[in-house]
């Protein structure tokens, strides 16, 4: 869902990581609070598309960031239509899609190391309360890295089932995905322990 850094020289690439993270939070909060109609959703979607164009992100890459959340959005849309109205479904799913797109744009235009340094500096004053900013930065790095890893696992399992001519089944898909995800988590844990990162 969230891509890794793509080198570039656009205005968004040159913008400081801290400023981008603040703008990301502010933008998501603003969209959540003030976007209330399908028309407003459309306007914001166009604005986000313009930002991807400014950052020179290919449209195929942009679409790939959103593809993993399509099924989740469809499920949410169905519930919203049943509980509220189609217009409300468009707004709710639109805001979620906008939030994911903005987060993807930040990660595509910001080096992970720059984001981690920003988070570590921001949390520095909390050291006096026993908070370890470096450990939180490591957690953030792992979260960012694991999202595309999990997406890749789901896609590989789904493609393997399709190649075998097997029918769609959420249970049959979830089981191998869970097994591979746990194996990947074990491998990451072993690698961290080997590098001296433990629970202490």
Q: Would you say residue 176 has pLDDT above 70?
A: yes
* DSSP code per residue over 104-128: HHHHHHS-HHHHHHHHHHHTGGGGG
Which three-class secondary structure state does DSSP give residue 58? Answer: coil
Q: pLDDT confidence of 184, banded at 50, 70, 90?
A: confident
Q: What is the pLDDT of residues 106-143, one digit of tens each?
A: 989 998 788 878 888 888 888 888 877 777 777 776 66
Q: Which residue has the higher pLDDT, 189 or 69?
A: 69
Report the C-alpha gap between 70 and 110 in whole angstroms. Answer: 24
Report the C-alpha gap between 138 and 197 in whole angstroms. Answer: 10
For the chain, the structural domain boundaries read 1-110, 127-200
Q: Give percent above pLDDT 70 in the chain.
A: 82
Cβ atoms of 96 and 90 closer than 8 Å: no
């Amino acid at each position: 869902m969230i891509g890794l850094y793509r080198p570039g020289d656009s205005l968004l690439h040159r913008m400081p990581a801290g400023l981008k993270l603040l703008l990301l939070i502010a933008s998501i909060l603003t969209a959540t609070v003030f976007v209330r109609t399908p028309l407003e959703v459309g306007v914001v979607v166009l604005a986000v598309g313009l930002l991807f164009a400014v950052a020179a992100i290919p449209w195929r890459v942009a679409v790939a960031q959103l593809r993993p959340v399509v099924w989740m959005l469809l499920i949410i849309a169905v519930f919203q239509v049943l509980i509220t109205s189609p217009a409300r479904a468009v707004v709710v799913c639109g805001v979620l899609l906008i939030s994911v797109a903005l987060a993807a744009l930040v990660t595509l235009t910001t080096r992970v190391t720059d984001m981690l340094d920003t988070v570590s500096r921001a949390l520095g004053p909390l050291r006096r309360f026993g908070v370890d900013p470096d450990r939180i930065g490591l957690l953030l790095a792992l979260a960012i890295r694991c999202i595309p890893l999990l997406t890749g696992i789901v896609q590989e399992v789904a493609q393997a089932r399709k190649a075998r001519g097997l029918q769609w089944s959420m249970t049959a898909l979830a089981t191998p995905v869970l097994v591979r995800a746990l194996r990947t988590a074990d491998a990451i844990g072993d690698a961290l322990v080997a590098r001296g990162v433990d629970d202490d």
